[in-house]
Structure 1
Amino acid sequence: MLREGDQNVSARLTTLEGDCAKSSIQNVIQTNVSQLADLLNKSESRWRELSPQVSQLKTQYKQLEVNETRLLAALQDIRQRVEPVLTPSQTISSE
């Protein structure tokens, strides 16, 4: 009977150790999940701050492309007007 009691106590101790380990793991997991959720919230907040600036940069980039196209067309137009006036040795070199 004493042996059964020792076995019961030993089994209960093993069960409690397992429960304690599970609880510890769950606490670590919960802490990690909380930290990840906080990081995600901060990232979303930062994205909301930067999103308008990114949109503005996209718009400015498109405008720069349009301006570049216009400048290249104007340069080509100037070359076409100037080159017939120049002698063959004076032609404008293309870069």
Structure 2
Amino acid sequence: MALPDGAFGADAQAGRQKARQCQTCHGIDGIARIPIAPHIAGENDIYLITQLKAFRSGKRTHEIMSVIAENLSDEDIADLAAWYASIEIKATIPE
């Protein structure tokens, strides 16, 4: 399986610093702060890279994400994906 550019060698701690621009909607911890934003904590890094690159290229559009993603480098995207993917989420099934 081919991986998107930047899937390896990403820096999660650099991503944490870069995630400051994401925290208003997605939270620094990846838990959404507004109802229209998805939770991204613990999401697969390949998925996050793919989605951010789609916003950057215009393949996927959103009034806020398209503007934010257009200025992200491949390194920024990989680092952000590594940060959010590194956050552990625990789900508890009700009994």
The alignment's TM-score, normalised by the length of structure 2, stands at 0.19
The alignment's TM-score, normalised by the length of structure 1, stands at 0.19
**Larger Rg: 1 or 2?**
1
